Amino acid sequence: MGLTRQQRLVVILLAAGNLFVLLLICSFTAYSLRGLSAAQVAGLATLPPTNTPRPTPIPTWTPTPTPTPYVTLTPTPYALSGEEAATLDQIEQEVARLRGLQILHPVPRWKVTPLQLRQHYADTFIGEEWEAKARPLAIALAAFDFMLPDTDLLELWRESFYKWIAGFYKPDTEEIFLVSDAYTLGVMEQVVFAHEFDHALEDQHFDLETLGLDITSEPGYSDRFLAVDALIEGDAELLQEQYVKAYISEEEARLWFNQYLKIRFPLTGSTPPVLGELSEFPYDEGRDFVQALYEHGGWELVNRAYATPPASTEHILHPHRYLSGDQPVAVSVAPLSDTLGSEWRLVYESTVGEFVLGLYLRNHLGADEADQAVAGWGGDRCAVYYNDTTGQTVMLLRAIWDTTADARQFLDAYESYADARFGHSASHVTEEVSCWQGTDVVCVTRQEDSVTVVLGPNQATVDGVLAVGLP
């Protein structure tokens, strides 16, 4: 049985250190804790807190939380003590003042241990339905040279996520959960709560459900989805930074940052680096995007962004394009089922976007060259097909660029990428198409402002796709 809309949003809004792996697994995302960079923390050390020591808290309300029937954490989450509740009450008032948003209604708060979190959430994502979601996405990511096609994304997530979640906000029940083994609320829990309470304020004022985060109708990764997540997380990141500067002492800030380093995304030797890159985007680039809006028009301009959220990672990477109203070009690709045959199935179709295309080129090119090559992105569409009998993959990518010069720049960069990937120059070159042959075949072609890339198991298959895949 599939998840309900509310259940999907629970997964979408799990908040804490880098749950973006879940987006990669099942087309969802996470609103999670991330901290400041080491440079930012070093900068904080030179700024004395503007409100230290904190005055004795005067709570405006004292919630008496009762777990809703929907929450079935095992065992029952811990209710806060009176002292802990008072501390969080004060943090709520401080966050509301910094963010300039009124608290419209109380938000119940709970503590759970990492073990409790694992028992409830990790055990939920077991079974054929979740396996069916993870496997096609691994195939699609493998087509972009990000990982091996047999990578078990679901197992990777199950075994690691509970180790780096620090707290989360549940929009369906409007509750905040702090994940900690500590007996008292230390600086780590306080900063986490400030981040999560900002999400609660976002939800109260802008109704996060209306932002179109339910993308189950579009399988796989969505560029727009990542952009919207960057707005939401960037908001909380900037607020969190302002909170630390205003209310956390230099010593506490250092303590918090040292604790934060322990819950970063666990990039082990078996973890594909792309997962870390994708997990960090909403927080790092999202923070910079929201900072650009804030500098241009304060929190009021950030608030207005929820009515017209960013439509692509291009908007996040280039805030001036968002502010100018520039929109991505709608791109389509031809269906390949008839061309490839009945043994091939579509496992992925979506917009890849500027950010992921840049990561793609970074597999074999330098970061500056890759970023420059995709800076003129206008829109794209990608489809990946898989043959379960042979284990072969076909990928068709069509990208539109702002100018013919931008298209040419991407084509040049991609040819360098292919040379490095295959270890030799193009095996087959005509005026229209360049192809590389190895254990698989890649061809690339340009028509004015459009560039098409096709990957397949052999030249005949790629030629067949090119025949129908070009505009």
pLDDT digits (tens, 9 = 90+) for 409-446: 999 999 999 999 999 999 999 989 999 999 999 999 99
Q: Which amino acid is at 97?
A: R
Is residue 400 within 8 Å of residue 449, measured between CB atoms?
yes
Last residue in a domain, options 264, 291, 323? 323
Residue 341 and residue 317 share a domain = no
- Torsion of the alpha carbons at 69, 72, 77 and 82, rounded to the nearest 10: -10
Max Cα–Cα distance, the chain, nearest Å: 76
| The model's pTM | 0.83
| Chain centroid to CA 110 | 25
CA distances from 371 to 127, 329, 453 (A): 39, 19, 18
Burial class from Cβ neighbours inside 10 Å (0-12, 13-18, 19+) for residue 295 reads: exposed
HSE-CB at 329 with a 13 A cutoff on CA atoms is: 17
Query: Which class for 268: exposed (0-12), middle (13-18), buried (19 or more C-beta within 10 A)?
Result: exposed
Residues 362 and 316 in one domain: no
- Domain identity same for 303 and 351: no
Q: Are 56 and 158 in the same domain?
A: yes
The total number of structural domains that make up the chain = 2
Q: Which of 323, 350, 385 is the last residue of a domain?
A: 323
Look at residue 331 and tell me if it is in a domain.
no
Q: Could you tell me if residue 411 is inside a domain?
A: yes
Tokens representing 204 are 């109260």
Task: Out of 323, 356, 380, pick the residue that ends a domain.
Answer: 323
Q: Residue 59: is its pLDDT beyond 50? A: no
Q: Would you tell me how many other CB atoms lie within 10 Å of the CB of residue 106?
A: 16
Are 310 and 344 contained in the same domain?
Answer: no
* Same domain? 143 vs 42: yes
Per-residue pLDDT tens digits for 334-350: 999 999 999 999 999 99
Local confidence band at 151 (pLDDT 50, 70, 90 cut-offs): confident
Element containing residue 76 per DSSP (H, E): none
| Cα–Cα distance measured from residue 168 to residue 158, given in angstroms and rounded to the nearest whole number | 17
CATH of the domain at 385: 3.40.1000.70
329 within a domain of the structure (yes/no) = no
- The predicted-structure confidence for 279-316, as pLDDT tens digits, reads as follows 889 999 999 999 999 999 999 999 999 999 999 999 99
Q: Which domain holds residue 451?
A: 337-469
